[in-house]
Amino acid sequence: MATCTICDIRKGKRYCTARGEDICTQCCATEREVTINCPYSCAYLRESRLHEKRPLDEKQMPHRDVQIDHEFLQRSEMVLMLFAAFFNRALQPVPNATDRDAREALETLVAQFRQGNETVPEGEIAAGIVERFRAKMGEFLKELKDRDAGPFADKVCLGILVFMTRVAYGYDNGKPLSRSYVHYLRSTFPEGDQ
């Protein structure tokens, strides 16, 4: 058995899809989503998700001042499903997008409804996601405003987007290359799979 190409000490028991080499189990665990750009297809990555601890700090919840209750979520469930699907699709052209990029994009979208101005995020990847998402959301928003729900459309959008930032916060494992949230979306909306 070959030696791990990362530590050069232990046995390379695992084939790392991202590196195209055999690495040891320990390096796989410590470098996963830290220095290794792990693809969705990696079985070790998926397995690790089951044991990922996500200590949630209520104080760090994004936009805590925006109240989202159970009733709102129930009433707006359709919008949530639609937005999550749009967002997942907006992520598809950039398979290297991390949770950080996704969260940067979501924050820009929330700001659009909180501050009322359409800004573009600094990150190139996030900017692309926002652009693709806005194209889809724009059509939907126009339709929604033409209906009875018109006056509430912006409020619904804000609530749903804020909810999405909280879900993303909950999934992000904090590693620099975390794709826990991105992969969660992808597994929820498999039609986006290519």
Smallest distance from Zn ion to CB 26, Å: 6
> Between 6 and 109, whose beta carbon lies closer to Zn ion?
6
Query: Of 24 and 110, which has the nearer Cβ to Zn ion?
Result: 24
153 binds Zn ion (CB under 5 A): no
Is residue 16 near Zn ion by the rule CB under 5 A? no
Show Cβ contacts of residue 123 under 8 Å, excluding neighbours closer than 6 positions. Answer: 101, 104
Tell me, rounded to whole angstroms, the distance of Cα 187 from its chain centroid: 11
Cβ atoms within 10 Å, residue 17: 16
Question: Closer CB to Zn ion, residue 12 or residue 128?
Answer: 12
**In whole angstroms, how close is the CB of 24 to Zn ion at the nearest point?**
3
Name residues contacting Zn ion, limited to 23-62 (CB under 5 A): 24, 27
Choice between 24 and 105, CB closer to Zn ion = 24
Closest by alpha carbon to 182, among 112, 79, 92?
Answer: 92
For residues 61 and 67, give the distance between their C-alpha atoms in angstroms, rounded to a whole number: 12
Structure tokens at 139: 């059509």
The distance of closest approach from Cβ of residue 28 to Zn ion in the complex, given in angstroms and rounded to an integer, is 8
Q: Is 32 helix (H, G, I), strand (E, B) or coil?
A: strand
Smallest gap from Cβ 183 to Zn ion, in A, equals 24
Helix axes 99-114, 124-146, angle to 10 degrees: 40
* Count of residues in the chain: 194
With CB under 5 A as the contact rule, the residue among 7, 61, 68, 141 that binds Zn ion is 7
Q: Which is nearer to Zn ion, 6 or 42 (CB)?
A: 6
Site of interaction with Zn ion (CB under 5 A) = 4, 6-7, 10, 24, 27
